[in-house]
Structure 1
Amino acid sequence: MAFELKNRGHNVTVLTGIPNYPEGKIFKGYGFFKNRKQVVNDVKVIRSLLLPRGKGGGLRLFVNYYSFAVFASFKAFFLGINNRYDAIIVHEPSPITQYYPALLMNKLWKIPVYFWVMDLWPESLSIAGGVKNKFVLNYYTKVIKGFYRNSEKILITSKGFRGAINEKGDFDDKIVYFPNWAEDSISEGNKQFPIPLLPDGFKVMFAGNIGEAQDLDNIMKAAFKLKENKNIKFILVGDGRKMPFVKDFVEEHKLADTVFVMGRFPVEAMSSFFDKADVMLVTLKDDPIFNLTVPAKLQAYMSASKPVIAMLNGEGSDNILDAECGFTVNAGDYSSLAKTILATSKLSNEELQILGSNSRKYYEENFKMSACISNLENIISKKD
């Protein structure tokens, strides 16, 4: 988003934190006094102090989230004094605390805030985070209501978010559907980017965050059911909180011949990985909040002209069925997932190519980046 807006002539500044996800420690090359200010593709990047998330325990995450909110708000104060901004976009996959610096600038300088909601709170805190304390959940309900009230527009990545947001107040006139898109480097990038050698066989590839929401438990159960089908290979590209579980499961159930953990790679490598996959896998846990969510990886899969197998409910499943680009099973139904993967592995190359072509067509019509950014420019230019 930042690079495309810059390419279109806008002056863009990114306020973010020192990178520390998912390992929980500050990345090599960065630090409290190192690479705090950068220029990347002509975009100014300001990296606020924060305390690293560590192993991701509840207290450590709390400190991580709020340390960024506090330090970034100080940084935002001085940015607001020294610059004139016309709009602020809050990119919110989670947590919502990253809204605080924008709120400060909104209150002090009346800069309109466009809240790009990818994760519903406090629902996500309860479901993905396991928080059940009513005091905490009620507190964050009040917080998010305040953020919605102070937003010029609320941009939603899934149409299903509209109802959940309106349950917290009359925000309907602020809500605008604004879906994810895929990086052009995935669909149009260099397919010769050096990646590890992948195994022979029918390759089922999962790419992206390997976390709680992605239901790795049931992916692994499906892989175990297909253990004797040596031709079917599960390729996992990415990293996240569930990676230790995945590695332990593979070792315990002796799946080293059929499950391959590749680790995390830059986005530039995805084109090479996707090119070598036969089908792409997208999953979410069976939960009301996730049933409203369209995983961002789905657009990436479609942009790469790949068939898709999904184990999820709701709008993401509907997109796949509408596009006629693959097959879906109910969230959590690992037995049906295993059967679907086995049946798909027996399709001809021509049948798989038709599914892949349908993926790309649906992406072009609904999720292309250039159209999404043009829509964003139009939204921002029409301030109330």
Structure 2
Amino acid sequence: MTQTPLKIAVVSQYFFPENFIINDIVRELSALGVHVEVFTGKPNYPSGEVFPGYTAHDAVEDRFAGTIAVHRAPLRPRKKGGAKNLILNYFSFVANGVRYFTRHAKRGQFDAYFVFAPSPVISVIPALAMKRAHRAPVFLWVQDLWPESLAATGFIRNKFLLSIVGLLVRGLYWAVDVLLVQSQAFIDPVKRYARADKINYYPNSYLQQDDSGEICKLPESLTAVLRSHFCVVFAGNLGSAQGLATIVEAARVLHAEQSQALIVMVGTGSKADWLAEQKCKWGLDNLIIAGAYPRTAMAELFELSAALLVTLKRDEIFSCTIPSKVQAYLAAGRPIIGSLDGEGARVINDAAAGITCPAEDAAGLAACIRSMLAMPQTQREQMGTQARAYFLKHFELKAQCKALVRMFEQRIEQDKATQ
């Protein structure tokens, strides 16, 4: 094992104050005695505008959790989305990351580069440039399967362009040293582009509350609704992958039945405006669009929810994914309703944490909500208890970070042995 503290460069297009699991992992790695530095862009997700206190221009350095250096390259914000804006956003991080991050690799002598890659996978390129400047293994944590997810979301439909992306992915996977996949079902798709001996299962995790001391209270108007009604709460990104049309159709079914259940949507994203339009179009007073709230408000939100909702589109690629909100829901110890296929549904069912129906099955989703509403409170509480127990066994963040450190150490020792 290594005798001195590990020095890890975390490369991620997204980082605090943006709300991603990598924030908690960085904090916990530091608590474990790892020297961590973060290489990222200017925060602009999900609003598309650079956060107050930052500018899109100039490379800057700030601190996270008091002591962790965060190096921020210039970044073109994603603005309101759309293919052109997203492509420019993605490539600005790659180009500026290569330009600004490599100088730190020359000075820092990192033991490993750890890349958090929800999307796009090309965000690994700055880490590969750093590796070229100073040799150290690159760990790529694959959160999104390219090119399959590009086709599934409709971002790219041209088969020739998808094949080009596939070649790019093959090249990037070849260049990294270790591929970490967030789902067991990711292994076979990733094997199409990379050697099997590079691939390791490393699931997403979740930390219920950070130790910053910051607490954001929900507005009284929302808590009053949550306390006085049976509320099924969806929390997270409102995007094309989430299959929001299924939620709208289920809300229509329940509205026609005059069900007492409300569906509460918390979050924002590219489909937020569409969702508001659908609510208005169909007069769905049982569909509450609550807006977005910071991470520190989630504990209160989950505690006041009768059940938590996760949905995905129907597609083979999404059936391989465990949405990160599933871990958050399990950690909260609340019953879960899922309209999704594959790994996400398997986890909920294995945990006996709720009830599921197939992806894009609006009638099935309405039936699940109806069933949860009719269920005795004691049965729902038991589901919540089982959810929490499953989370602690499989996804607890502190244990997962210790496992990650062991992976770093084993690879570093392996490389030393072959030199």
Matches of residues 116-155 of structure 1 in structure 2 within 5 Å?
116-155=141-180
Q: Which of 188, 210, 213 matches 1:163?
A: 188
Q: Which of 385, 390, 404 matches 1:362?
A: 390
1:316 Cα deviation from its structure 2 partner:
0.9
Q: Which of 195, 205, 212 matches 2:218?
A: 195
C-alpha distance in 1 between matches for 2:321 and 2:156: 20
C-alpha change, 1:291 and 1:189, in structure 2 (3 Å) is farther
Task: Tell me which amino acid in the other structure corresponds to 1:164.
Answer: P
For each residue in 1:84-129, what CA deviation from the matched residue of structure 2 results, as whole angstroms up to 9, or x when unmatched?
1111111011011211101111223122110000100111111124
Q: Which residue of structure 1 lines up, in the alignment, with residue 105 of structure 2?
A: 80
Task: Tell me which amino acid in the other structure corresponds to 1:176.
Answer: N
Task: Tell me which amino acid in the other structure corresponds to 1:9.
Answer: G
Matched, 1:37 2:61: yes
For each residue in 1:36-65, what CA deviation from the matched residue of structure 2 results, as whole angstroms up to 9, or x when unmatched?
321011211111111111221212211111
Q: Which residue of structure 2 lines up, in the alignment, with residue 61 of structure 1?
A: 86
Preserved contact between residue 138 and residue 178 of structure 2 (Cα < 8 Å): yes
Matched, 1:280 2:308: yes
Task: Tell me which amino acid in the other structure corresponds to 1:65.
Answer: Y
1:35 Cα deviation from its structure 2 partner:
8.7
C-alpha distance in 2 between matches for 1:206 and 1:265: 12
C-alpha change, 1:30 and 1:271, in structure 2 (3 Å) is same
C-alpha distance in 1 between matches for 2:250 and 2:214: 29
Q: Which residue of structure 1 lines up, in the alignment, with residue 361 of structure 2?
A: 333
Preserved contact between residue 208 and residue 299 of structure 2 (Cα < 8 Å): no
C-alpha distance in 1 between matches for 2:214 and 2:35: 32
Secondary structure of the residue that 1:382 maps to in structure 2? helix
1:190 Cα deviation from its structure 2 partner:
8.7
Preserved contact between residue 215 and residue 284 of structure 1 (Cα < 8 Å): yes
C-alpha distance in 2 between matches for 1:65 and 1:77: 18
1:193 Cα deviation from its structure 2 partner:
4.2
1:374 Cα deviation from its structure 2 partner:
0.8
Q: Which residue of structure 2 lines up, in the alignment, with residue 24 of structure 1?
A: 48
Q: Which residue of structure 2 lines up, in the alignment, with residue 265 of structure 1?
A: 293
Task: Tell me which amino acid in the other structure corresponds to 1:122.
Answer: P
Matches of residues 183-332 of structure 1 in structure 2 within 5 Å?
183-185=207-209, 193-197=216-220, 198=222, 199=225, 200-227=228-255, 228-255=257-284, 257-332=285-360
Secondary structure of the residue that 1:294 maps to in structure 2? coil
For each residue in 1:151-178, what CA deviation from the matched residue of structure 2 results, as whole angstroms up to 9, or x when unmatched?
2211111101110011124x21111110
TM-score, normalized by length of structure 1?
0.95
Secondary structure of the residue that 2:84 maps to in structure 1? helix
C-alpha distance in 2 between matches for 1:94 and 1:327: 29
Structure 2 unaligned blocks of 5 or more: 1-24, 415-419
Backbone CA RMSD of aligned residues: 1.8
Count of aligned residue pairs for this structure pair = 381
Preserved contact between residue 58 and residue 74 of structure 2 (Cα < 8 Å): no
Task: Tell me which amino acid in the other structure corresponds to 1:194.
Answer: K
For each residue in 1:2-33, what CA deviation from the matched residue of structure 2 results, as whole angstroms up to 9, or x when unmatched?
10011111111111111122222212221045
Q: Which residue of structure 1 lines up, in the alignment, with residue 12 of structure 2?
A: none
Task: Tell me which amino acid in the other structure corresponds to 1:71.
Answer: N
Q: Which residue of structure 1 lines up, in the alignment, with residue 76 of structure 2?
A: 51
C-alpha distance in 2 between matches for 1:128 and 1:237: 21
Which has the larger displacement, 77-86 or 354-363? 77-86
C-alpha distance in 1 between matches for 2:357 and 2:182: 22
Preserved contact between residue 311 and residue 329 of structure 1 (Cα < 8 Å): yes
1:79 Cα deviation from its structure 2 partner:
1.1
Preserved contact between residue 230 and residue 260 of structure 2 (Cα < 8 Å): yes
For each residue in 1:302-329, what CA deviation from the matched residue of structure 2 results, as whole angstroms up to 9, or x when unmatched?
0010100100000111111111110010
1:191 Cα deviation from its structure 2 partner:
12
Matched, 1:104 2:133: no
Secondary structure of the residue that 1:240 maps to in structure 2? coil
Q: Which residue of structure 1 lines up, in the alignment, with residue 4 of structure 2?
A: none
Q: Which residue of structure 2 lines up, in the alignment, with residue 9 of structure 1?
A: 33
For each residue in 1:187-219, what CA deviation from the matched residue of structure 2 results, as whole angstroms up to 9, or x when unmatched?
x99997410233121110001111110111111
Structure 1 unaligned blocks of 5 or more: none
C-alpha change, 1:34 and 1:191, in structure 2 (3 Å) is closer
Secondary structure of the residue that 2:160 maps to in structure 1? helix
Preserved contact between residue 98 and residue 129 of structure 2 (Cα < 8 Å): yes
1:34 Cα deviation from its structure 2 partner:
7.7
Task: Tell me which amino acid in the other structure corresponds to 2:367.
Answer: K
C-alpha change, 1:54 and 1:82, in structure 2 (3 Å) is same
Q: Which residue of structure 2 lines up, in the alignment, with residue 179 of structure 1?
A: 203
Q: Which residue of structure 2 lines up, in the alignment, with residue 377 of structure 1?
A: 405
C-alpha distance in 1 between matches for 2:392 and 2:317: 27
C-alpha distance in 1 between matches for 2:97 and 2:28: 24
